[in-house]
């Protein structure tokens, strides 16, 4: 067996086409274009690249955006004041604070200071809580993007055994919730694994659907999965590569070439889940502008 490739780049492009045409219609009806406010604290090179990718994608679909770059010495109180200003500004639909933050700032406090109705990343406890009780909310972009991939390829989730490796607040945990909840088109029986899971293979070997978001290059080997498994590799890891000009290459958390021989479907890295994350951010920003999730805003 050699798995079919789940082409996240292609599906994300289709999603972005859909958002672009919805934005056009929204503006043609006399509304202003959706607006995403990005906040970048400091000049971490990876964060600069990520915010650049997001703002480029915004422009591509007709969403207006601005990136406010703040000194990494900013105090918690000053940053909160900046966010409060955007919360109260009716011309701002979505607010995104790029993570990670400098160590003197609490990401929890910063996320909680964003108005949950503008939290297009889906990280605010109000959105996380509403997700867990299966109510409309902004859903964390990466796991929501994975659910879109299942939908696009008509990969059944209901009643399957889904195993999620990784339990972070932004990927693994909301992924497990979405897989198990009805409104997220889930209703899978879901297992979540983390560093303290005693025998990882004992769980992964039983997965019909295996989602890996551990940040550990090639953690998942072929002997850890069963024939026909659907594999979603969220991991993005830099590993040294002398052949590459940059001196490194990107690999996932799954030993792709070996595991694809046993899987029925598999995502590549890059070109799998990554582009879906950005496409979902575009979709969430449009939903925020339309006040589709929180109509009373």
The residues annotated as belonging to the active site are 54, 98, 121
The yes or no reply on residue 47 touching ligand NDP (CB under 6 A) is no
- Region 137-176 residues binding ligand NDP, contact defined as CB under 6 A: 142, 165-168, 170-172
Shortest Å distance, C-beta 267 to ligand NDP: 9
- Per-residue contact string for residues 186-205; x = within reach of ligand NDP by CB under 6 A: -------xxxxx--x-----
Helix and strand numbers (H, E) in the chain are 10, 11
First and final C-alpha spacing in the chain: 51
Q: Which of residues 83-102 bind ligand NDP (CB under 6 A)?
A: none
Token duo for residue 119: 């939290």
Tokens of 16: 């972005």
Q: Which helix (H) or strand (E) holds 57?
A: helix 45-61
Tokens for 20? 């672009």
How many residues belong to the site for ligand NDP (CB under 6 A)? 26
Q: Name the one range near ligand NDP by CB under 6 A: 15-23, 59-67, 230-238, 285-293.
A: 230-238
For residue 214, state whether it binds ligand NDP (rule: CB under 6 A): yes
In angstroms, the CA 151 to CA 212 distance is: 19
The residue among 122, 121, 120 whose CA lies nearest residue 131 is 122
Q: Site for ligand NDP (CB under 6 A): which residue of 215, 222, 250, 258?
A: 215
277 sits near ligand NDP (criterion: CB under 6 A):
yes
CB of 169 to ligand NDP, least distance (A): 7
CA 148, 197, 201: angle at the middle one, nearest 5? 75
> Using CA atoms, how far apart are residues 237 and 253, in angstroms rounded to an integer?
8
The residues binding ligand NDP (CB under 6 A) are 142, 165-168, 170-172, 193-197, 200, 213-216, 219, 234-237, 273-274, 277
């Amino acid at each position: 067996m050699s798995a079919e490739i789940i082409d996240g780049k292609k599906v994300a492009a289709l999603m972005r086409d859909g958002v672009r045409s919805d934005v056009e219609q929204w503006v043609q009806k006399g509304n202003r274009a959706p607006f995403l406010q990005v906040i970048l604290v400091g000049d971490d090179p990876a964060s600069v690249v990520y915010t650049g990718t997001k703002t480029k994608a915004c422009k591509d679909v007709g969403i207006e955006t601005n990136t406010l770059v703040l000194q990494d010495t900013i105090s918690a109180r000053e940053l909160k004041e900046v966010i409060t200003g955007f919360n109260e500004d009716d011309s701002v639909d979505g607010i995104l604070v790029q993570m990670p933050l400098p160590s003197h700032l609490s990401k929890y406090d910063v996320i909680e200071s964003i108005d949950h109705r503008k939290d297009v990343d889906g990280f605010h406890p109000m959105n996380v809580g509403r997700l867990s009780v299966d109510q409309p909310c902004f859903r964390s972009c990466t796991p929501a993007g994975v659910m879109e991939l299942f939908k696009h390829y008509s990969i059944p989730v209901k009643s399957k055994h889904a195993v999620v490796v990784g339990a972070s607040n932004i990927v693994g945990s909301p992924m497990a919730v979405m897989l198990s909840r009805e409104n997220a088109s889930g209703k899978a029986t879901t297992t979540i694994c983390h560093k303290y899971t005693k025998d990882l293979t004992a769980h992964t070997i039983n997965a019909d659907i295996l989602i890996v978001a551990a940040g550990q290059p090639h953690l998942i080997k072929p002997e850890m999965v069963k024939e026909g498994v659907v594999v979603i590799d969220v991991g993005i890891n830099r590993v040294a590569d002398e052949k590459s000009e940059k001196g490194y290459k990107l690999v996932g958390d799954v030993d792709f070439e070996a595991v694809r021989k046993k899987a029925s479907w598999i995502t590549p890295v890059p070109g799998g889940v990554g582009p879906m994350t950005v496409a979902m951010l575009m979709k969430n920003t449009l939903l925020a502008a339309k006040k589709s999730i929180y109509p009373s805003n």
